Structure 1
């Protein structure tokens, strides 16, 4: 899932200035671990060698608990005894739910997370969160918008007051919404300066007829034109209990359930019906003077949570999902080895895999010099064709499955990664699949499944997006 986080109380990083000592990191930047047990609160007064083990019994590790209220609200929590508590409100209100009339409303909604609400002013919101040493953020993907609050465990009640206001009591005052226009432009321009992000946005626009074709960013013709009425209408249609999930880490399930029943049940119901994404295939090209050409060639992949999606995950690792050594080259994967035969110049290539609730995209992503683009792109596509024809061994599959499982386990090692995983599953299915279940799904992938996934890419209708000096970049119908 692609997300973009807006911190309401940003901190200034002076560690990059010359001659300035690196300061202690703020609470927002702690590398938080998922604690398995509580730390005894006794002070250590003896030397370590002579210290005797404490008689305090440590609480047993708990599993993720999931409840679903009669109004459809899903509540998931993990009491991991961390000194820092995190609570996230996940809402099915991503950019895919925009219509032709309100394009960009989800982007504006994310940026409006720090505006005045019915219970607290924008000034009090920022100062109150800052005084607690906490953080309050909003993130947007094509599937959902997520509001997350993090603070010390003892301050949880206070920070949740702000979180409830941000998610259930929006006001969208016209003058405050108008003031968002410069931030919308800055946010969009900063993101679009990334060639990779730009080509991914164009890829989705070309690949789908509706829903998933919507950009994460407000289109130019709608900047400054998304009205408070449109924001209120979007919230009324999508911020309902049947489309929401509340996830807590470092908080008891009973406390989180009580909070949700009391404050987050103001809009009951299923909300607006979901629109199924329709894959079409196509091509979009952005011509400029960049000598590096970024290109994506994909076919429709597997929907999230399906066995087919697991096969595409393994296929991605076989082809190459990026370097495993920092600043290193992916010299061991099939894409790199195959493309190296087509050019002697520097290039980058990896398999692209994106899964959504009802569709997915799978293909190859290449970065090359403008005059080498044709050979690099064709060589990358040919490597997938080689797998489809059986050019893969059982050892390749075993190695790829090991990489996939390790990547997944490391992704949920941090509290941010774990919350994203729990929230996505709770929002999509109303349940949580433990890591053991995910690993069993990867283990069940066979050589035949991988070959079938590669064949689906080869036989499927292609979508292509390219950006750069496209003097020697092939069109999708030429591949």
Structure 2
């Protein structure tokens, strides 16, 4: 999700600001010097990823769970950076910045004024309504990082907030244990106790619930 925000007095230059936001979102330029700087930043991000085992763990977890869709990496591979072009970015905007996937929202603005200003935007129509469905597959991924430290994540497919099993999943989450309420306290949850029975080495264990939205 991309979000463009403006905060200010609604009687001052609101028409110019919304017009500018329309140009930014529907008529971007993507100048060559911007791409050059972006590629440098993305190269730096990849270098940080190589030294961040927790970030790698999340990447592998999503890849095992979903394969495609939500399983695709948040990072571009290094060999793809050189191929990043203005044409690719303009194609992405043309396919995704369309009427069915955009919303203009205002707070403290008259609806009629917002509609009038938004109607000047040159927004295209989607070229295809076929979207790749998100399918939970499950599986495992292993990556050898060397050293004495191990990073492990286990996940399962959850339920939506409208499901009849939603409250049951919340109860299960509490039974498994929440984070310690006292800073630096030991693991007293069922999950922590189970891990402590398997090793006498120092460890850290946590549990979280993740919500994924696919538009």
Shift of 1:200: 0.6
Instruction: Specify the alignment match of 1:231 in structure 2.
Output: 89
Distance in 2 (alpha carbons) for counterparts of 1:346 and 1:279: 33
> 1:269 & 1:169 partners in 2: Cα distance?
16
Is 344-353 or 223-232 further displaced after alignment? 344-353
Alignment of 1:254-403 (within 5 A): 254=111, 255-263=113-121, 266-269=123-126, 271-303=128-160, 306-309=163-166, 311-325=168-182, 327-329=183-185, 331-357=187-213
Distance 1:218 1:195 in 2: 17
Contact 1:302 1:308 (C-alpha < 8 Å) held by counterparts: yes
**Deviation sequence 1:197-253 (CA, Å, 0-9, x none):** 2101111112223211211111222122122222122211111110123344x4335
- The answer for the alignment partner of 1:176 in structure 2 is 34
Contact 1:208 1:279 in 2 (8 A): yes
> Structure 1 residues 304 and 204, CA, compared in 2 at 3 Å: closer, same or farther?
farther
Unpaired runs of 5+ residues, structure 2, are: none
Q: What TM-score, normalized by structure 2, do the two folds share? A: 0.78
**How do 1:6-405 residues align onto structure 2 when only pairs under 5 Å count?**
145-153=1-9, 157=14, 159-191=17-49, 193-248=51-106, 250-252=107-109, 254=111, 255-263=113-121, 266-269=123-126, 271-303=128-160, 306-309=163-166, 311-325=168-182, 327-329=183-185, 331-357=187-213
Higher RCO (CA < 8 A, seq sep 6+): 2
Superposition deviation, residue 356 in structure 1: 2.9
How far, CA to CA, are the matches of 1:266 and 1:211 in structure 2? 25
Confirm or deny: 8 A CA contact 2:192 2:205 kept in the other structure: yes
Deviation of 1:285 after TM superposition, in Å, equals 1.7
Alignment check: 8 A CA contact 2:187 2:205 kept: no
- Please, which runs of 5 or more residues in structure 1 have no aligned partner? 1-144, 359-427, 429-479
> In structure 1, the residue corresponding to 2:179 is in which secondary structure?
coil
The 8 Å contact of residues 240 and 267 in structure 1, kept in 2 or not, is answered as: yes
More strand by share: 1
